[in-house]
Amino acid sequence: MNKLFYPALFHIAEEGGFWVSFPDLPECLTQGESMEEAYEMAVDALSLCISDMKENNLPLPTPSKPDNINHEKDTFLVIVEFDIHEYQKHNNLRTINKTFISRIQTR
C-alpha cells in the first residue's frame, strides 16, 4: 500500500479561490487561490495529516467511495493521491541534509 487515494471536496470560496476539505479526515483543511494551487495544497495537507497519524500509530481511515459522498452546489469532488514512499524519501533526504549541514557548521 504505497499510494493512497482520498476524496477531497473543493469548495468555491466567496472571496475567490478554493478551500478544500477531506470527508474522511475532517481535521485536514486547506485552501488555494487557483485550482492548481488548491490541489497542491491539498496534497501537502493530506501528506502531513497521514504522516502525523502514522507517526502517532493512529489507524488511517479507509477512503470513502466517491459515489458515496454527497456535496453541495459550488463544490466538486477531486481524488487526491498520496505516495507514502515518495513522501518518506523526500523527508528523509531533507532530514539528512539538515543534519549534514548542521555538522558542517559546527566544525
Q: 25 to each of 3, 49, 50, 91, how far by Cα in Å?
A: 17, 8, 9, 22
What does the domain layout of the chain look like in residue ranges?
3-105
Task: Answer whether 0.85 is exceeded by the pTM.
Answer: no
pLDDT in tens, the chain (107 residues): 588 999 999 999 999 999 999 999 999 999 999 999 999 999 999 999 998 998 899 999 999 999 999 888 889 999 999 887 777 777 664 444 444 344 444 44
Span 3-105: which CATH code?
A: 3.30.160.250
Closest CA to 47 of 25, 67, 32, 69: 25
Which pLDDT score, from 0 to 100, does residue 64 have? 94
Which pLDDT score, from 0 to 100, does residue 74 have? 86
Place of cell 476539505: 21
Which pLDDT score, from 0 to 100, does residue 68 have? 92
| CA quadruple 34, 30, 85, 83: dihedral, nearest 10 | -60
Collect all residues with Cβ–Cβ distance below 8 Å to 29 and sequence separation of at least 6.
19, 20, 21, 22, 45
